[in-house]
Structure formats: C-alpha cells, structure tokens
Structure 1
Amino acid sequence: MAYDASYDDWFDVPGGDNFADVTELFVAGSQDMEPEEVLLMDGFTLMDAMSAFEIGEPRLDSGMILEEQRRPPFDPLTPLLPEEVCWILDRSFACEMEWHAGKTLSQSVFTILFVHHMPDINPEYLIPEEDDDPQRPRWLITVVMRAAMLGMLKCCDFAWRELSKNRVHDVEDWQGEKCDVSLLEGVNSDLIIHMLDKACDLIRQSDLPEVQIEALCDRLLLRKTLLQLYKLDLLKEAAELWYNIAVTRGLLHRVRTSHQDSLPRDSPASLTMDPHIARRLPNFMPIRVTDLPPFEATCDAIDAYLEYWGEIGHLVNSPSILKWETAGSMHFALHRKPAAAFQRSLVQTLFFDKDMVLGAHWPSWLVDRFFYESIGLSYTTILDAFHRSAPPMQKATMRDVIERRITKLMVPHVRSSWYNPPRRRRHLMKEVLQWHMLYDVMLQDVAQYKPPDPATSVILTAVLRTAQLWRLAASREVILSGFQQELYAPEEKPIAYWYLSRVLEVHLSCIDGLLPVVPRDTAAFRELNFQRSHLTALQLICTALVSLTAGCITSSWRRISLNFLRRYKWVFDPEFDKLAPAEPIPDLFAFPPVLQDLLQDRFYSPAASFQLARDILVDAKQPQEWVGHWGKDRVQYLDNLATICHRLQNATPTSMIELPNFTLGTLQWIPDLHPWFPTVKS
C-alpha cells in the first residue's frame, strides 16, 4: 500500500512525538509541598481533575499511603505467644460486633489479616517444624487461630444469610459487601465446632501455664457457643437457647476479666490487623478507616446481643399478637438503642416465613388472634353472627374479605416494630389508609345485614370498631414518632399535640363503645381498660402542651397551612375521599378556635393537668401479666411518663393568667430523656 502522510494525522499526538521525561522535575517541585497539598492552574479545579478518572472506579478514593502507614509484608506463620493469640481473638470479637453495629466487613472483620490467609495456616499443607519454640508453638496459629477465624467467619455467614432475606435493607440497616472474600458459605458449621473442640483439647494437653490454658480455652468456647446460637432453629430448639445464653454469659465474664488491653510495641500481633485493608479489596463503598472500641465496650455489646437473643426466646414462646405488639412498641416508647440488624431480621423471619406464623400456624390463625385479643371474641363467634345476619350469597365473600385483608395487614404490621425508626414511620403512614379501607369494606357489608337480635347487632358493631382501634393506634404512633425523630419545627409542635389530642379523643370514644361488649375475663378487656387510662393521660399532657407551646407559632397562616399539608399528607391521601369519613378529619381551621378558647379559659391549669395525668399513670402501674415478659417494660414506660409529668407540673403555670410569665425556653425536647414530651431546663 502506498504511503499516505495524511493517514498518520489521525494518530497525531498534540505536542508531537518528541517527549521529555519530567518526572524528576515534578519530584523536585513536590519536595516543598505539604501532605495533601494540591497545586492547580487558574481555571482548572479539583473537580476537573477528578473527572479525568473513570467514573465509578472503586479504588479512586483509596488515598495516598503515608510513610507511617507502610507495613512489612504479613507472614501468617510468625510465631505468637499465647497472650498475643488471646489479644487477637479479643479483637476478632470486637470486629464482629462492629460489623453488626453497621460498619462494613472491610472496616471490621476483614481487617484481621488471618482471614485472607486461611490456606497458608492449614496444618495439612505445612511441613512440621523440628525446632518449635515451646513458648510460641506453631499449633497456636495452625490449630487455635485457624479454628477461631473459621468460627468467626461462619458466624458472619449465618448472619449474612439472614440479613440478605430483605427483612432489613442493605446499606440502610447493614453493610453486605463481601469484597469477594469467602465467609465459608460451603463449610458445615458442625465441622468448625469440632475443630474448636479439638483446639481446646490440644491446649489442655499442652505444657502451657494453667492461666494461659484457661484464657485460650475461654475464648475458643465463647466462639463455639456464639456459633451454636447462630445455628439454632429457635422455633424447634427454643429450650436450648437459654442454656447457650447462660454459658455464653459465663464465658464472656471470664474473657472480660482476663483481657489484656495492650501489647509490647514490638509485638508481631499488632501486624495481624490492617485497618487499611480495603485498599487491596474489590469494594464499591467509600474507604474509611475506623478505630475499634475498647474491649470493655465490645463485651457490653455482646452482652446486649445476648440480652436481645433472650427476648427473641420469649417472643417465640409467646404466640400472641398483643405480646408481640407490646414487645415491639416498648422499644420505641422507651427510646432504646435499636437491636442489631441481624436480630431484627431474625424476629421478622420467626414471626412469618414460608406462609406460616411462628412456624406452626396457618395465616387464618392471625385472624382469630386479631379479633380475640382486640375485642375478646373468637373468629368463630363473629362468623356465626355474620351468618345469622347476612344473605346467603354474601357469607363466603365476607369471610374471604376479612381473612385476606387482616392477614395482609397484620404480618407487616407486627414486623414493622422491628424496622428502623424512619422506615417504621413510613410504613405506619401507609397502614392508616389500609386499616380504614378495611373498616369501609366491613361498613358497607354490615349495612346490608339484618341482625336477628341485639346481641348479634352488638357483635357486628364491635367488629367495625376493631378496625378503627388499629387505625387510630397507627395514627398515634405516626405523630409521636415525629417527635422521637425530631422532625417537627418549633411552630409545628403545638399543632402536632393538638391533632394528637383529637386522635386520642376519638380513640377513647372507640374504647368506651367497646368495653361493655368485651368479656371481662379476657386479656382484651384488661388491655382496653389499661389503654383507656393510658390514652387519657396522654390526652391531658398533649392539651396542656398545646397551651404552653402556642407561643412558638410565629409564621403566617399560609405558611402554617402549607406545612400542615406536607406534614400530614398521609391523612390527605385522595383515597380517603372515596371512603367513609376517617375521624378525626385533619381540619386545620378547627385549630385556632380551640387554641383561643384554651388560652382564654382563666380556670384552665396546665400544672393541674400534668398532676392529674401523673396520678392516672401511677394508678395504671399495676401488674401487666396479660402482656407477659414485657409487663415490666410497660411499668418502666409509665414511670418515665409520670416523671416527665412531675417535672412539668412543678415548672408550668397553675392557671392561664400566669401564662404570659412562662418562659417557653424552659421546655427542652431531648429524646434521650423522653422521646415525645419536653423536660424542664434545670
């Protein structure tokens, strides 16, 4: 082919081909620059420089390796003393708990370099050492360390499998990126338990001092019991749960007391941890180096982990919607730290999985418990009432509607108590409409029925009120959760307390209509009676706070109206317009007259309202045996609420005449002190 000079023009490089190596020039120029200092030309920003790289490159943010971060190559067979092995095993528990606390595997578990060198410490692949140091025997690495690392990875595997069921959400609740590192997905857990036992036997037969033997065995046995907890089928082996928890707690106490906080500066054990390991792993999360907490905090985290595992055992042994509902709601009402994502996912799976409730009941069981625990009437009794009243063609339809809708509502409702707080709030917002749709369907059908006697008529009315009860309870939780999550601006708080008081008023009216119908010897009657006292106290508190916080409203009415529409969009859904009126209707125009009447009532006393609410709460603190294990949590919740009332009572006006002298800054909303109501500034 003939040479064509114009052909090379397509490959011409700007500046020509005569390049000069300027590396030394840049090296010399950078000597006077500080670390992380950047020189940019005029008009050329750091964003322009970053845009030159491939977008999405996972290692783009890995950063520069500083001189103090450089480490010698890791040798997994470096001999270690028994106390150094114990230190590493303690760090493995800390790393595992940090993953459960929300960090990535690359920031926690994978920072232990033995995880990436498991084949290198397999004794089957190694030549026996002839001159083994008796103080640093190789089997501490190839048997003890290997068994402990395998146990840790298998525990993470069990947790990862549960977490990946989408009961909780990756990135939002937990970090699931494995970075292409094996969690021993194909290894049988019983084999690892056998290896842990074998390692303990080898330690006991060794010539190590007794103190070191006990320390090593305690840590291996702690790992073993944790692994056994993970692999338990709680629906079938709940009895073994308590034994494992007791043993684990005893071992944790022994490990806590024998922990060594620090090692000599030249100890090779420190090289087994690399907080910058994410630089060498394929991952798609921003790389961030984090410090592990003190071991005392790790032990506290494991103890809390065990405590919640015990609560799961109580839940499994409590086939009751009321108890599950109480257990979930008390965590939010007491503003406790949420459980680990693994355990929240496990609770949801145990409640309903593979079309079975608690592994033993068909979904229709939910319908029967729903009615019996809400209004004290069995589903059979309710069906008989419908059959006696409805035309023959509607009997099957009504039963289908009840079972299908209630099951569809109850499963996610119970599970939502183990969502993270924002997701739970969003779910309850949607649920308010679903409950009202169920009420509307029942109302339309019942309107066509002709009860043959007053007793049947009472049952049909009670069924309608049941759907109202659950809708109003969901509405209450949505409004209160806004305070807990600090969503309300100061001028929104009086309106939130006002609307909540209206919800509570309708809820109390609904309970008053049900109590004469509910059999007095049922848990439903005792629960409704308790809720009547509880909600009355809440309404008194809310009404008093409306008068005290009215001074927060400083914006124009138009601004307040727009905020109200956005904040309560869950009750302004257009679907409500197609249904029966959902009391209380969110009418903001009803707020100013109520507020004006309240402020002009010279005889109204906020302090007296708080005192009355406190008296009601103290009277309600009787044994709550119908909610089982969570009765003590209820009593604590009432105690906290009564304490807030007592503080507010002593610091608020005794009449509205004194309101102008009240300083609004006295009230402080601190969720850690109380999630919903203010406390008094000391």
Structure 2
Amino acid sequence: MPMHSGFEDYLDIPGGDDFAEVTDLFVAGAQDMEPEEVLLMDGFTLMDAMSAFEIGEPRLDSGMILEEQRRPPFDPLTPLLPEEVCWILDRSFACEMEWHAGKTLSQSVFTILFVHHLPDINPEYLPPEEDEDPARPRWLITVVIRAAMLGLLKCCDFAWRELSKNRVHDIEDWQGEKCDVSLLEGVNSDLIMHLLDTASDWVQQSDLSDAQIDALCDRLYLRKTLLALYKLDLLKGVDQLWYHTTVGRELIDRMRTPDNPIPPDSSVHLAMDAYIARRLPNFMPIRITEIPPLGQIWDSLDAFLEFWAEIGHLVASPSLSLWKTAGQLRYSLHKRPACAFHRSLLQTLFFDKELVFGTYRPTRLVEQFFYETIGIPYPAITQAFKRSGPANPPASMQDVVERRIIRLMVPHIRSYWYNPPRRRRHLMKEVLQWHMLYDVMLKDVETHEPPDAETAAILRAVPLTARIWRLEQCREVILAGFQQELYAPEERPIAYWYLARVLDQHIACIEDVLPSVARDSGAYSELSFQADHLAALQMISTALIALTSMYITSTWKRISINFKRRYKWVLDPEFKTLTPAHPLPDLLSFPSMLDELLQDTLYSPSRTFELAENIAHRLSESPQEAVSHWDRDRRQYLRNLADACDRLKRGTPDSLIELPNLNVKTLKWIPDVHPWFPTVASA
C-alpha cells in the first residue's frame, strides 16, 4: 500500500513488490503440531522469546491478523454515493479531534486510508472514465475527497508545527509520531484552499440534489474554515478569527442533523482501517479506538472553535490580570481542559521572539505588574525611588527587580496553560522565587528615606506586590492538591489549616496595600473583590479543619514526616536566608490551634458556611467589569462556591458540641462537583 501522501507518483518499494503470500504455508505446517508445542530455531530459546515479551516490544505481534479482522483490499477509486462521501468527511473531523484529544495519528487521522492514497486519486494521473454512474461520479473522490484529505493533513501539519515548539510535552500532552507519513509539509496552504474552493464549485455545478449539495459544501467550507484558522496570524487578524469561528460554529449547527446510517455492506467502510499501525513505521503499541458518535464529534469540534474564540479575546486584551483570570477560571471551574494545540498557541502568543503580546518589549510586563496589582504607574514608582534614594544609588537595583519580574512573569502566565500536574509543580518552585523578589524589594526600600507621605505610601506598597503574588501561588498550590486528589484523608485537615493561614495573611496584605491604591483604579476594584472572596474561602477552610479533624489517626511522628514531604516547597532551606515568609510552615502550632477551635462551643460550622455562601452570592450578583469577557465565568465560579457552601451548610452541625455525631464518611471530595471542597452525602 502506498504510504506517500504528497503529489508525486508512487515510488517502487525497495526490494521490489513481488512478494509471495506464505500464510497458507504456515497454517499447513501448524496443523501437525500439538497444543502448546513450540518450534524454536537454533540459538533462539524460549527464554529469548519470553524476554521479548517482558521488554514490551510493541510491534512484536503487530502482524498477527485474526480471522474476524480480515477485510478485502481497499480500492480508493471505488465509486461512492454523496452520502458516503459525507460519512468519510465527518470521520475526518472526528479523527482530527481524536488526535487533539491525545491519541496518536496512527490511531486517528491515519486510519482514513484515503490519506495514504492521494497520488492514486489525483485526477491528473487518471484516464477519463467510461460509463460513469451518475449517482456515483468519480469526481466525488478525485476532487471532493482528495481536497478534504489534503485540507485535513495540512491542518495537522500546522498543528504539529505549533505543538513541536516545546511549549507542551510530546507523549505527556500530545502524540507527535508521524509514522513516516507526510503531512504535506512542503505544500502551500493557499493551493489547498484553492482546491477546496474548486471542489465546492464542482459540487454546486453538479446534478446532485439540493440536500446533497448543501451537505457536501458545508463540510468543505468547514474544512476550509479550519485551515484558515490554523494559518491565521492571530496577532494581526483577531477580527478574522472571530469571523471564522462564528462561521464554523454556524456550519456545525447546520450539520447537526439526524445521522443517516450507512449500510454495513457499503464499500465506504473499507476506507477506515483501525489497524493501520500494523503497516506503518510505528513505535507505539497497537491500540484500537472507536470513533465517537456523530453528536459527540460535533460537540468536540464546537468546543474546539469556542476556545479559539476565547483565544481571540485574550489576544485583544494585553493585560496580565485578564490572562491570569482566564487561566484561573478554567481550572477553578473544572472545565474540560483545552487541547494541547491551543495551550501551546496561547503560550506562544503571550511571549515569543522577545515580544510580549506580540507587540511590546518585555519591560511592558514590569509596568503591567505594578499598575494592575497596586494601581500605581511604574514611572511614578521610579520617581518615588529617585526622590527618596541615597545620593549615589546602586544603578543596578532597578535592573535587578525588572529582570526578576520578567523572568517570573513569563513562565507564570504560561503555566496557566500547562497540564494540571505540571502547573502545580511549577507553582511550587515559583513560591520561593516570589519571596526572593519580595526580599530584594524590601531591602531596597529600607535604604530609602521618603521625603513626604505620598512617597512613603508608594515605597511601602511596592514590596507588597511580590508578597501578594507569592501568597496567591501558595493558595493555588494547596487547592490544586485537592483538585488533583493528592491528599490522603488525614492530610486534609492540615491542608485546610495551612490554607486558612495563607488566606489570613493574604487578606491582611491586601488591607495593608489598599490605602495606597487609587479608589478609581481597576486595581482597587479587584483588590476589594479579592478581599471578600478570600474571606469566604477562609471561613470555609476554617470550618473544614474542625469537620475533618477526626481523620487524624496517625502518630505525630508520621504526621510530621508527611508534612515535610507534602510542603517541601515552603520548607526549602533558602527561605531561612531571607525575610521570614509568613505564614511560616510551623506544624507545631497546629495541635494548639485545633484544640482551641474544637473547644469553642459557640462556633457553628453550618452558620460559617451560610455566611460564606452569602458573600459568594453577593459577589456573583455584582458586575464583574474588571474581568471583561470572563464576567460570566467568574459569576459561575462564585455560584458554584455558594452551592458548595449550601450543601455543607445543610449537612453539618450547628455547633461543635454536635461534632461527634457527624459521620465523617459522609464527607465526599468529588472534583466534578466542586474541585476543592467536599459535599455531604446526606445533603
């Protein structure tokens, strides 16, 4: 079978193609063998055979074809009905989405045999056909299917180029093995778009019925739309992006018609070979995957285009806080993760070739960092330092701070589009870096003597920016542990305890910096929102310390060892050389805090959850103008938080006196219900 999918003629197989079929010879020879009998050649023992299996060579038995897997040879020029052509085109979209979902090309796109036979269906190489069936014209294959397959491969080529930039990780996030099959790397995309237009013209000028013409043209237009999106320069064509995504989603809605099943005996089924990996250079084990139902195909493709539209909103919003908010909400809403291609594309769009947001120099990050965190323009900050600095200031200090911010900010924003475990590991390492930045800023401020109250307020606020970001990352690391179900039951009360301490410090830090922030600035609005939001989280965490305390059954020594392992990111020895990083990971203070909490007979977990629920409801009803396009997502996050509080409120005691009556087994952590907080089974 030809494996070359370009435009050149099929080349002879090295060694010739006059192979002899030997299956019958082996079958005849095996008839004289007894069950479990093994034939071994000289120098190859049973141990050698078992070692091959133990090593796990994935292609060891790839050539074995069971009787039920045998099928007639595929003829790419077998005439097809328009409905069968639509069936193939629908499967091409499904296979593309399956690749983006993490399957290999040999399990998805390459299972469509037409992609391996493009030279065989090139109309330039075929003689005119005599006695053509009007219901099955050959041009449906040589013009329509060929153009669609070329478009499919070129879309995969554009995606592969982006994915191979090492923003995401091969095998961990996506599968990049091409199996020596061309993705039309050397073919101009404009030529393929022209072939798609030509195919649409052939369909529209044909004698097919109106319904058949519409069905074929919709699929060709959708492929052309996807190809236009892949090749689009998003930094220069946001309007075109929104246009293409709108058109694409409208086409999908038109194609959401009841699926007319293709008869099982139709020859079109031979165009799909789930076992194609047997005949491809492939290092992966052969795994057979089913094509999803047609409705699921369109849902996946619609979500694919929807996220592309969200990318357009991010590109049009060169703001650190908006990019951060968009990434946080996708995690906290426990949305279906974006595909690796989109995650890689976002990281490239944020910072690539020494430019931020495709337009600005990296120093733009420093300006946005201060202005969006504390509402003070960076020039005002530099002027305040000049007014209060020594007569001969160290010229390098400002450069040191700027370099640290840039070096921290680029991977930090990109990390919102890492896979969840990798993102958590990155944030764990980042916590120390933020505190080192805080330490540098604090020591720099101490060398200055502000001449007036306004300058003093600016100097006092500057180090707090790094502290705010450090506390935020601490919170994200702890919450990600719940979302990824990392904590053992007895670790949960300690996790909620340390989370509550982090939230306390974060709220106090915001209260310290708010007097220095202009009330009419976006930073003041966001800081005020966060103060209320963090207060709700702090209330929930404190109540859960009491409710989960019964999980603690191990010895103190065992708890201490687990704590050191789980919180090694805040126990790094380098912290001891810096300004104390409050809240300190002082596990010795946990027992006394827990005893004090449990002895407070007036403390009511259910009323605490109710108060947190009221805060979340109030915030969800207020306009979230600061987050622009993500207003709806933030409101949904707050409603989800309120719902979690409502479930806990209805299933927990009114007083800690009733705590022994709570069956701790009724607390269930279900990330799909809420990523961080439990629900009560009886509620």
TM-score computed with the length of structure 1 as normaliser: 0.93
Q: How does 1:542-561 map to 2 (within 5 A)?
A: 542-561=541-560
Query: Matched residues in 1 for 2:642 and 2:219: separation?
Result: 44
Give the superposition deviation at 1:23: 8.8
2:172 partner amino acid: E
For each residue in 1:618-650, what CA deviation from the matched residue of structure 2 results, as whole angstroms up to 9, or x when unmatched?
222210101111111111111111111111111
Query: Matched residues in 1 for 2:438 and 2:203: separation?
Result: 66
Structure 1 stretch 482-491 or stretch 134-143: which is displaced more?
134-143
Report the CA distance shift for 1:573/1:632 in structure 2 as closer, same or farther (over 3 A): same
Report the CA distance shift for 1:269/1:310 in structure 2 as closer, same or farther (over 3 A): same
Q: Look up the match of 1:27.
A: 31
Q: Look up the match of 2:498.
A: 499
Q: How does 1:62-461 map to 2 (within 5 A)?
A: 62=62, 64-257=64-257, 259-260=259-260, 262-394=261-393, 396-461=395-460
Q: Look up the match of 2:461.
A: 462
Give the superposition deviation at 1:314: 0.7
Query: Matched residues in 2 for 1:505 and 1:46: separation?
Result: 66
Report the CA distance shift for 1:216/1:550 in structure 2 as closer, same or farther (over 3 A): same
Give the superposition deviation at 1:600: 0.9
Q: Look up the match of 1:582.
A: 581
The answer (yes or no) to whether the contact 1:215–1:258 under 8 Å persists in 2 is: no
Give the superposition deviation at 1:211: 1.6
Structure 1 stretch 127-136 or stretch 106-115: which is displaced more?
127-136
Q: Look up the match of 1:666.
A: 666
For each residue in 1:229-272, what CA deviation from the matched residue of structure 2 results, as whole angstroms up to 9, or x when unmatched?
11111110101112111211121122221643x21122110000
Q: Look up the match of 1:607.
A: 606
Q: SS at the partner of 2:33?
A: helix
Query: Matched residues in 2 for 1:681 and 1:176: separation?
Result: 43
TM-score computed with the length of structure 2 as normaliser: 0.93
Query: Matched residues in 1 for 2:485 and 2:26: separation?
Result: 57
Give the superposition deviation at 1:443: 1.6
Query: Matched residues in 1 for 2:97 and 2:26: separation?
Result: 50
Report the CA distance shift for 1:23/1:655 in structure 2 as closer, same or farther (over 3 A): closer
The answer (yes or no) to whether the contact 1:104–1:176 under 8 Å persists in 2 is: yes
Query: Matched residues in 2 for 1:45 and 1:601: separation?
Result: 74
Q: SS at the partner of 1:132?
A: coil
The answer (yes or no) to whether the contact 1:86–1:216 under 8 Å persists in 2 is: yes
1:91 partner amino acid: R
The answer (yes or no) to whether the contact 2:381–2:458 under 8 Å persists in 1 is: yes
The answer (yes or no) to whether the contact 1:58–1:282 under 8 Å persists in 2 is: no
For each residue in 1:501-545, what CA deviation from the matched residue of structure 2 results, as whole angstroms up to 9, or x when unmatched?
000011111001011110000010001000100000101000000
The answer (yes or no) to whether the contact 1:436–1:582 under 8 Å persists in 2 is: yes
Q: How does 1:468-547 map to 2 (within 5 A)?
A: 468-547=467-546
The answer (yes or no) to whether the contact 1:99–1:109 under 8 Å persists in 2 is: yes
For each residue in 1:144-202, what CA deviation from the matched residue of structure 2 results, as whole angstroms up to 9, or x when unmatched?
11000000001111111111111111101110000000001111111111101101111
Sequence identity (%):
68
The answer (yes or no) to whether the contact 1:62–1:287 under 8 Å persists in 2 is: yes
Q: SS at the partner of 1:588?
A: coil
Query: Matched residues in 2 for 1:63 and 1:590: separation?
Result: 64
Structure 1 stretch 300-309 or stretch 50-59: which is displaced more?
50-59
Give the superposition deviation at 1:28: 3.0
Q: SS at the partner of 1:28?
A: coil
For each residue in 1:663-682, what CA deviation from the matched residue of structure 2 results, as whole angstroms up to 9, or x when unmatched?
11121100000000001113
2:32 partner amino acid: A
- The unaligned stretches of length 5 or more in structure 1 are 1-20
Structure 1 stretch 473-482 or stretch 308-317: which is displaced more?
308-317
Report the CA distance shift for 1:488/1:460 in structure 2 as closer, same or farther (over 3 A): same
Structure 1 stretch 62-71 or stretch 664-673: which is displaced more?
62-71
Structure 1 stretch 455-464 or stretch 362-371: which is displaced more?
455-464
Give the superposition deviation at 1:392: 4.5
Q: SS at the partner of 2:324?
A: helix
Give the superposition deviation at 1:83: 0.9
The answer (yes or no) to whether the contact 2:111–2:275 under 8 Å persists in 1 is: yes
The answer (yes or no) to whether the contact 1:80–1:141 under 8 Å persists in 2 is: yes
1:603 partner amino acid: L
Query: Matched residues in 1 for 2:47 and 2:582: separation?
Result: 54
The answer (yes or no) to whether the contact 1:386–1:395 under 8 Å persists in 2 is: no
Query: Matched residues in 1 for 2:53 and 2:590: separation?
Result: 57
Query: Matched residues in 2 for 1:218 and 1:590: separation?
Result: 66
Query: Matched residues in 2 for 1:282 and 1:168: separation?
Result: 24
Give the superposition deviation at 1:45: 11
The answer (yes or no) to whether the contact 1:162–1:342 under 8 Å persists in 2 is: yes
Query: Matched residues in 1 for 2:52 and 2:97: separation?
Result: 39
Query: Matched residues in 1 for 2:330 and 2:101: separation?
Result: 17
1:586 partner amino acid: P
Report the CA distance shift for 1:96/1:209 in structure 2 as closer, same or farther (over 3 A): same
Report the CA distance shift for 1:48/1:593 in structure 2 as closer, same or farther (over 3 A): farther
Query: Matched residues in 1 for 2:147 and 2:29: separation?
Result: 53
The answer (yes or no) to whether the contact 2:58–2:286 under 8 Å persists in 1 is: no
For each residue in 1:50-87, what CA deviation from the matched residue of structure 2 results, as whole angstroms up to 9, or x when unmatched?
32589685522526210111122211111111111111
For each residue in 1:346-384, what CA deviation from the matched residue of structure 2 results, as whole angstroms up to 9, or x when unmatched?
111111111111111111111101000000001101101
1:350 partner amino acid: L
For each residue in 1:96-119, what CA deviation from the matched residue of structure 2 results, as whole angstroms up to 9, or x when unmatched?
000000000000000000111111
Query: Matched residues in 2 for 1:45 and 1:380: separation?
Result: 78
Query: Matched residues in 2 for 1:210 and 1:113: separation?
Result: 29
Give the superposition deviation at 1:393: 3.8
For each residue in 1:370-405, what CA deviation from the matched residue of structure 2 results, as whole angstroms up to 9, or x when unmatched?
000000001101101111122254353122012111
1:128 partner amino acid: P
Give the superposition deviation at 1:291: 0.6
Query: Matched residues in 1 for 2:570 and 2:26: separation?
Result: 68
Give the superposition deviation at 1:26: 4.2
Query: Matched residues in 2 for 1:47 and 1:69: separation?
Result: 30
Q: SS at the partner of 2:256?
A: helix
The answer (yes or no) to whether the contact 2:350–2:357 under 8 Å persists in 1 is: yes
The answer (yes or no) to whether the contact 1:87–1:259 under 8 Å persists in 2 is: no
The answer (yes or no) to whether the contact 2:401–2:440 under 8 Å persists in 1 is: no
Query: Matched residues in 2 for 1:483 and 1:195: separation?
Result: 51
Structure 1 stretch 300-309 or stretch 242-251: which is displaced more?
242-251
Report the CA distance shift for 1:593/1:153 in structure 2 as closer, same or farther (over 3 A): same
1:334 partner amino acid: L
Give the superposition deviation at 1:281: 0.5
Give the superposition deviation at 1:438: 0.5
The answer (yes or no) to whether the contact 1:232–1:241 under 8 Å persists in 2 is: yes
Q: Look up the match of 2:8.
A: none
Query: Matched residues in 2 for 1:591 and 1:502: separation?
Result: 11
The answer (yes or no) to whether the contact 2:373–2:523 under 8 Å persists in 1 is: yes
Give the superposition deviation at 1:455: 1.8
Structure 1 stretch 134-143 or stretch 426-435: which is displaced more?
134-143
Report the CA distance shift for 1:645/1:72 in structure 2 as closer, same or farther (over 3 A): same
Total equivalences in the alignment = 654
Q: SS at the partner of 1:571?
A: coil
Structure 1 stretch 152-161 or stretch 52-61: which is displaced more?
52-61
1:215 partner amino acid: A
- The unaligned stretches of length 5 or more in structure 2 are 1-24
The answer (yes or no) to whether the contact 1:387–1:395 under 8 Å persists in 2 is: no
